[in-house]
Amino acid sequence: MPIVLHGVGKINICTDMFISMMNRIKAVTNSGTINYTEVMTATEAALTEVVKSKLVLFGSQNRA
């Protein structure tokens, strides 16, 4: 059942995205050296995972 029917009109996922991104940055930079390309690639992957999971959760996948 769509969550809109329960009165939900807006969903913020920004906090989930920031937490995922920060956890990934901490994991990548844990070695003590910082490689910008590695950090950005890992960050993008983390954000992509969160967004994909939210699209599935909200039933919005494969919709343009």
The pLDDT assigned to 41 comes to: 94
The pLDDT assigned to 3 comes to: 67
CA distance 64 to 48: 17
CA distance 52 to 61: 8
CB proximity list for 25: less than 8 A, separation 6 or greater? 39, 42, 43
Q: Could you list the pLDDT tens digit for every one of the 64 residues in the chain? A: 566 677 777 778 899 999 999 999 999 888 788 889 999 999 999 999 999 998 888 888 887 6
Of the candidates 23, 25, 18, 30, which has an alpha carbon nearest to the alpha carbon of residue 40?
25
The pLDDT assigned to 61 comes to: 81
